[in-house]
Homo-oligomer: A and B are copies of this chain.
Amino acid sequence: MKFAILINEGPYQHQASDSAYLFCKAALAKGHEIRRVFFYHDGVNNSSALTEPPQDDRNIVVRWGKLAEEHKVDLVVCVAAALRRGIKDDNLAAGFRISGLGQLVEAGIEADRLVTFGD
């Protein structure tokens, strides 16, 4: 089955990004496809290349990038929300790309299910 994921909150502040990541890992392990992960609202903050969590904590940004690389998951950051919050190509982490909201709608159309994680 093809899933699309929408993440509305930034890393660390809310559990949303963690839950979404663990959902994606479980879905991939079951042989499902993650068609796209779309980052909206404060969710765009998940793509900051400058993030440096404490060494004994998870690195949410890097973790998403690795998942994308290993499983060819398309991580798309909403350009309008990103500009409002200071995410640009300059500080965009590996594995993410910036694009328009149309990518969310397209994912909703093409995927069998869209699952939202937020606050």
Does B10 lie within 8 Å of A91, measured CB to CB? Answer: no
Interface of A is mostly: loop
Q: What is the size category of the interface that chain A forms with chain B? A: 20 to 34
For A51, the chain B residues whose CB sits under 8 A away are: 83-86
Which one, B41, B48, B90, contacts A13 given CB within 8 A? B41
Which one, B45, B57, B88, B90, contacts A85 given CB within 8 A? B45
Query: Is A101 in contact with chain B by the CB < 8 A criterion?
Result: no
Does A86 lie within 8 Å of B50, measured CB to CB? Answer: yes
A-B contact pairs, 5 of them (CB 8 A): A10-B45, A12-B85, A51-B83, A51-B85, A54-B84
Does A85 lie within 8 Å of B41, measured CB to CB? Answer: no
